[in-house]
Amino acid sequence: MSVLSKYVDRIAEKFEHNGITKHAFSYALVTSAILALTIKVTIPYVKNAHTTSIEKTPKGKTKVYNGVLTPLKTDSTEEDLKLAEAEKLLVAQQLKKNNKNFVEPGLNHEFLKQLKMLAKIMIPHTLCYETGLLSIHTFCLISRTFLSIYVAALEGALVKFIVRKDIKQFGLVLLKWFGIAIPATFVNSMIRFLESKLALAFRTRLVRHSYRLYFKNQNYYRVSNLDGRIENADHRLTEDISVFASSVAHLYSSLTKPCFDLMLIGLALMRSSRKMKANILTGPALSVGVIALTAHILRIVSPKFGQLVSEEANRYGYLRHIHSRIITNAEEIAFYGGHKVEMQQLRQAYNRLVNQMTAIFNQKLWFIMLEQFFMKYVWSGTGMIMVSLPILTGKDVSSETISGTAITESRVSERTQYLTTARNLLISAADAIERLMSSYKEIVSLAGYTYRVAGMMDVFEETAQGVYCKTSVMETDQSNGIIEFRNGKPIAKGRIIYSDDPENMSINLRAVPVVTPNCDIVVPKLTLCIEPGVHLLITGPNGCGKSSLFRILSGLWPIYAGELQIPRPVKDVPCMFYIPQRPYMSIGSLCDQIIYPDTRDDMKRKQITENELRSILKLVSLEHIAQRDSFDVVRDWKDILSGGEKQRMAIARLFYHKPRYALLDECTSAVSIDVESSIYEIAKGMGITLLTITHRPTLWKYHTHILEFDGLGSWQFRKMNADEQQKEQFLS
Ligand SMILES: Nc1ncnc2c1ncn2[C@@H]1O[C@H](COP(=O)(O)OP(=O)(O)OP(=O)(O)O)[C@@H](O)[C@H]1O
C-alpha cells in the first residue's frame, strides 16, 4: 500500500506542475475507482436483464442464452461442443415452455407444497422412528436453551461476587459453573448426533421410496429413454437426496433452536429488566423493529439461491454423467484414441460447473457483506441500547446518590450482575437471530434441492403411468392422425391385452404403429399374428424399426394406436425373453449370470441344480468357464468374457428360462456359425418360438415366416418359401 501511495504522490506532483492540485488529482482518482467498481458490479445485472435472448448464428442455427444457464466463453475450436450445448439448452427451454405451470425454485407456494409432499414420505406416521428422533432432538434443543440461560445467570453472579470481593460465594458459583459444563457439552454433542441420525433416517425413507418408484413399470428405462425431463437420475437418487435430507435435518435444529432461544431469552431479559424496575417493553419493541426492518431489506436484496443451487446440482450431475460414460466406454474410446474429444467434454462440463459456482460465490460476497453489517453492527448497537435502557431509565438511579456506601456498593454489584447476564443473553439472542437469518439462505438453497428431489418423484410417478414429456420433432399435424396429441403431449391410445386362454398363446398386433420416443413414425400400421411354432425372421435396412418392434412387444415403448395381444406370463414360464446384441452381465457369480434375472431363491424354488446349470453351459459350449472359475465366485463378467462368450452366456439364460417366445436381436453375431446352428436347433427342440433379427443368411433355414420392412414404412409378413429357407446354399 505504501509503495502504491508513494507512486500516486509522485504522479500527483507531476500533475501539480501542470496546474492540477493534489486534491483535485486525488478526487479524480477516487471517482474513477468508484466508477470502475460500479461498472463492474452493474454489468452482470445489465447482462442478466437480457437473460433469455435468442441470437442467430452465422450458420442460421439458433442459440439460446439464459441468465442461469449461461454457456461458456469458448474458442472457435469448441464450436461443435458449443452448438451441442446450445441444443441441450434449447431442449430444456422448450420443456420449460411446454410446462406452463413451471415456477423457478425459491421460497414460494410451490416449494411448500413439494416440501409437504416429501415430509409425508420422510415422516409417514405420527408414531414412527423419525418422530421419536425428532422428539428427543427437540427435547435436547430446549434443554440447551435452558442451560444457556442458566450459564448466563451464573456468569452474571460470578461478576457480581468479584465486584463484591466475596471469595466464598465466588468459589461456590464457579464450582456450579464447572458442574453445568458436563451436561451442557453432552447436550451439544447429542444435538449433533441426533441431527446426523435424523438426516440418515430421512434419507433412508426417501431413498426407499424413490427406488420403489424407479423400478416401478420399467421406470429406469422410461425416464432416460422416453422422457426428457431428468438428465441424470443417478445423481438425483444419490447426491441430491442426501443433500436434501441433511439440509432438512440441519434446518430443523437451526430454525427451532433459535426460536426457543429467542422466546426464553426474551422472557429472561424481561424478568431482569423488571428486577431493575425499568420498562420491560421498550427494549424488546426496539429490537423487534430493527430486526424486522433489516430482515426485510435482506429478503429484498437476497439473490435467488434456490435457482442457483439447483442449477449447480444440475451441472455437477452432468459432470458425473460424463465421467461415468468414459468409465463405461473406456475400451472403445481407447481404441478410437478419442481422449481429446472426451477430455474436451469433461473440461467443458467442469468449466460450466465452475462458472455456476463462481456466480454463486460472487452473489454471496455482497449479500454476506450486507448481512454481516446488519448483524454485527446494527444489531450490536441496538443490543447496547437495549441493555442500557433499564439502567438508564430504572427508577432507583436518582435515589442511589443519596444512599449509604454499603447500599451503593450492593446496587453497583447488582447492576454489574444484570449487565453481565443481559449481555450474555443478548449475545445468545443475537446468535439465535443470526442463525435464523442465515437459515433463510439455507431455506432458499433447500428449495433448490426440494425442487430436484420432488421433481424427480413427480416425473417417476408420471412415467410409470405412461405420461412422457420429450421434445418432439414432429408437429401435431404431421402425424396424419396416427398419434393423438393433448397439450402437446402424445397420448398412448393403444391397448395391451393379456390373454389367459391356454388355447390361444399367439401374439397379435392389430394396426399398431411403430413410433419412436421422439414421435417419429417408423411404421404407420403393423398387423400380424405370431402363433407358437411360427418362427419369424425379421429383416430390413438399418433403422427400419426391427428392434423397435421388440421394444413394443416387450412393453418398453408405448403403443399410440391399435391393439397388442400377448399371452399372460404363467408362473415360472416367461412369455417373452429378449436377447440383445450386447448382452448385459450382472454383478455376481457365474451362477447368477446364467439364472439372471432370477435370484438364487428363485432357482431353488424351481428345483434347478448346479449340475443342470453345467449342462446348460455345455449346450452353449461354455463348460470351460465353469471349469476355470467356481460357480460361486463373484467376478466382473463384463470384462472377463469375450464378446462371443457373453452372447453364448445370454443364450444359456434363454435355455434356463425356456420362454414361449425368444426375441433374438442379432444375438449370435459374434458366435461361430457351427455353435450358432446348434443353439438354434436346441432352442427349437425346447419348444421356444423364435423371433430373429439377423443379417446372416445361415439362420434363414430355422424360420418358417418372414417379416420384411422396406425402411419407408411398408412391410410384408408371409410364409417363407423353400428357396428362401435354403438361401444360405444359394449364396455360398
Ligand atoms: N431411444 C430412441 N429415441 C429416439 N429414436 C430412437 C430410439 N431408438 C431408436 N430410435 C429410432 O427409431 C428408428 C428405428 O430404430 P431401430 O432400433 O428399430 O432400428 P433397426 O431396424 O433395429 O436398425 P438396425 O438394423 O440398425 O439395428 C431409428 O430411426 C432410430 O433412430
Beta strands 521-530 and 507-515 are: antiparallel
To the nearest whole percent, how much of the chain has pLDDT over 70?
78
Tell me, in angstroms, the distance from the centre of ligand 1 to residue 513's CA: 14
Residue 92 has pLDDT above 80, yes or no: no
Residue 158 has pLDDT above 60, yes or no: yes
CB 453 within 8 A of CB 435: no
Rounded CA separation 585/587 (Å): 7
pTM over 0.90: no
pLDDT-based confidence at residue 656 (cuts at 50, 70, 90):
very high
Between CA 570 and CA 576, with CA 571 as vertex, the angle to 5 degrees is 55
pLDDT on residue 31: 67
CA-550 nearest atom, ligand 1: 18
Tell me, in angstroms, the distance from the centre of ligand 1 to residue 600's CA: 35
Tell me, in angstroms, the distance from the centre of ligand 1 to residue 263's CA: 65
Beta pairing partners, 376: none
pLDDT-based confidence at residue 21 (cuts at 50, 70, 90):
low
**What is the per-residue burial (b if ≥16 Cβ within 10 Å, else e) of 669-697?**
ebbeeebbbebbebbbeeebbbbbbbeee
Q: For residue 99, which phi and psi values (nearest 5 degrees)?
A: -90, 95
Rounded CA separation 581/601 (Å): 28
| Among candidate residues 306, 317, 309, the one with its CA nearest the CA of residue 349 | 317
Residue 665 has pLDDT above 90, yes or no: yes
- Taking residue 321's Cβ as centre, other Cβ atoms within 10 Å add up to 15
Query: Which segment of 114-128, 348-362, 617-631 scores lowest on mean pLDDT?
Result: 617-631
Q: Ligand 1 pocket test: which of 544, 551, 694, 712 has the largest number of ligand atoms within 8 Å of its C-beta?
A: 544
Query: Which segment of 227-236, 268-277, 490-499 scores lowest on mean pLDDT?
Result: 268-277
Beta strands 563-567 and 495-499 are: parallel
Any atom of ligand 1 within 6 Å of the Cβ of 694: no
Rounded CA separation 411/394 (Å): 12
Any atom of ligand 1 within 6 Å of the Cβ of 470: no
**Could you tell me which residue, 289 or 86, shows the higher pLDDT?**
289
Beta strands 661-665 and 576-579 are: parallel
Amino acid type, 487:
N
Hunting for cell 411360427 — which residue is that? Answer: 534
pLDDT on residue 97: 47
CB-based contacts of 196-201 (< 8 A; 24+ apart in sequence): 196/249, 197/133, 198/130, 198/133, 198/134, 198/137, 198/249, 198/252, 199/245, 199/246, 199/248, 199/249, 199/250, 200/245, 201/122, 201/129, 201/130, 201/133
pLDDT on residue 43: 56
Mean pLDDT computed over 126-136:
93
pLDDT-based confidence at residue 272 (cuts at 50, 70, 90):
low
Q: For residue 461, which phi and psi values (nearest 5 degrees)?
A: -60, -45
pLDDT on residue 192: 92
Which are the contacts of 407, defined by CB distance < 8 A and separation ≥ 6?
none
Any atom of ligand 1 within 6 Å of the Cβ of 548: yes
Residue 653 has pLDDT above 90, yes or no: yes
Sign, CA torsion 344/346/348/351? negative
pLDDT on residue 616: 93
Beta strands 705-709 and 536-539 are: parallel
- Domain spans, the chain: 2-98, 111-464, 476-731
Residue whose CA lies nearest to ligand 1 atom number 30:
543
DSSP conformation letters of 253-265: HHHHHHHHHHHHH
To the nearest whole percent, how much of the chain has pLDDT over 90?
34
Mean pLDDT computed over 225-234:
85
**What is the per-residue burial (b if ≥16 Cβ within 10 Å, else e) of 584-609?**
ebeebbbbbbbbbebeeeebeeeebe
Between CA 463 and CA 473, with CA 468 as vertex, the angle to 5 degrees is 155
Tell me, in angstroms, the distance from the centre of ligand 1 to residue 515's CA: 10
Choices 3.20.20.140, 3.40.1050.10, 3.40.1350.10, 3.40.50.300: CATH for 476-731 = 3.40.50.300
How confident is the prediction for the chain on average, in pLDDT? 80
Residue whose CA lies nearest to ligand 1 atom number 12:
516
- What would the pLDDT profile of 116-127 be if each residue is shown by its tens digit? 999 999 999 999
pLDDT-based confidence at residue 417 (cuts at 50, 70, 90):
confident
CA-518 nearest atom, ligand 1: 4
ipTM confidence score:
0.96
- What would the pLDDT profile of 442-454 be if each residue is shown by its tens digit? 888 899 899 999 9
Mean pLDDT computed over 206-218:
94
Mean pLDDT computed over 352-379:
87
CA distances from 315 to 32, 308, 350, 458, 521 (A): 38, 11, 8, 21, 33
- Cell numbers linked to 534: 411360427
**Could you tell me which residue, 394 or 390, shows the higher pLDDT?**
390
**Could you tell me which residue, 729 or 336, shows the higher pLDDT?**
336
Beta strands 576-579 and 521-530 are: unpaired
Any atom of ligand 1 within 6 Å of the Cβ of 228: no
Residue 650 has pLDDT above 50, yes or no: yes
Residue 646 has pLDDT above 90, yes or no: yes
pLDDT-based confidence at residue 33 (cuts at 50, 70, 90):
low
**Could you tell me which residue, 194 or 570, shows the higher pLDDT?**
194
| Among candidate residues 679, 684, 670, 662, the one with its CA nearest the CA of residue 619 | 679
Residue whose CA lies nearest to ligand 1 atom number 13:
543
Residue whose CA lies nearest to ligand 1 atom number 20:
543
pLDDT on residue 13: 67
* Element holding 597 (H helix, E strand): none
Q: Order of strands across the sheet with 495-499?
A: 495-499, 563-567, 507-515, 521-530
CB 700 within 8 A of CB 676: no
Among 69-73, 347-351, 484-488, top mean pLDDT goes to 347-351
pLDDT on residue 55: 39
pLDDT on residue 11: 67
Rounded CA separation 606/593 (Å): 17
**Could you tell me which residue, 79 or 497, shows the higher pLDDT?**
497
> Can you say how many angstroms the Cα of residue 268 is from the centroid of all Cα atoms in its chain?
44
Rounded CA separation 221/554 (Å): 12
Any atom of ligand 1 within 6 Å of the Cβ of 546: yes
Mean pLDDT computed over 621-634:
83
**What is the per-residue burial (b if ≥16 Cβ within 10 Å, else e) of 249-260?**
bbbbbbebbbeb
Any atom of ligand 1 within 6 Å of the Cβ of 222: no
Residue whose CA lies nearest to ligand 1 atom number 28:
543
Any atom of ligand 1 within 6 Å of the Cβ of 649: no
pLDDT-based confidence at residue 109 (cuts at 50, 70, 90):
confident
Tell me, in angstroms, the distance from the centre of ligand 1 to residue 712's CA: 13
Rounded CA separation 430/450 (Å): 29
Residue 195 has pLDDT above 60, yes or no: yes
Q: Taking each helix axis as running N to C, give the angle between helix 610-619 and helix 643-657, from 0 to 180 degrees, rounded to the nearest 10.
A: 130
Rounded CA separation 566/691 (Å): 14
CA distances from 661 to 463, 553, 554, 566 (A): 27, 11, 11, 11
- Cell numbers linked to 550: 421388440
Rounded CA separation 538/708 (Å): 6
Tell me, in angstroms, the distance from the centre of ligand 1 to residue 519's CA: 12
**Could you tell me which residue, 274 or 238, shows the higher pLDDT?**
238
| Among candidate residues 395, 396, 390, the one with its CA nearest the CA of residue 410 | 396
- Cell numbers linked to 498: 393379456
DSSP annotation of 709: E
- The hierarchical CATH code for the domain 111-464 is 1.20.1560.10
Beta pairing partners, 570: 573
pLDDT on residue 30: 61
Among 211-215, 311-315, 493-497, 504-508, top mean pLDDT goes to 211-215
Tell me, in angstroms, the distance from the centre of ligand 1 to residue 517's CA: 10
Residue 51 has pLDDT above 50, yes or no: no
DSSP annotation of 69: S
Any atom of ligand 1 within 6 Å of the Cβ of 543: yes
Mean pLDDT computed over 373-390:
77
Using only C-alpha atoms, the chain has a radius of gyration, in whole angstroms, of 37
Residue 114 has pLDDT above 70, yes or no: yes
DSSP annotation of 542: T
pLDDT on residue 439: 81
**Could you tell me which residue, 456 or 335, shows the higher pLDDT?**
456
Rounded CA separation 690/654 (Å): 11
- What would the pLDDT profile of 248-257 be if each residue is shown by its tens digit? 999 988 888 8
Rounded CA separation 101/95 (Å): 11
CB 564 within 8 A of CB 494: yes
In this structure, the dihedral spanned by the alpha carbons of residues 368, 374, 380 and 383, taken in order and rounded to 10 degrees, is -130
Between CA 683 and CA 688, with CA 687 as vertex, the angle to 5 degrees is 60
**Could you tell me which residue, 396 or 428, shows the higher pLDDT?**
428
Query: Which segment of 58-72, 195-209, 312-326, 436-450 scores lowest on mean pLDDT?
Result: 58-72
pLDDT-based confidence at residue 291 (cuts at 50, 70, 90):
confident
Any atom of ligand 1 within 6 Å of the Cβ of 413: no
Between CA 198 and CA 205, with CA 200 as vertex, the angle to 5 degrees is 95
Amino acid type, 552:
I
Whether 111-464 shares its CATH topology with 476-731 is answered no
pLDDT-based confidence at residue 649 (cuts at 50, 70, 90):
very high
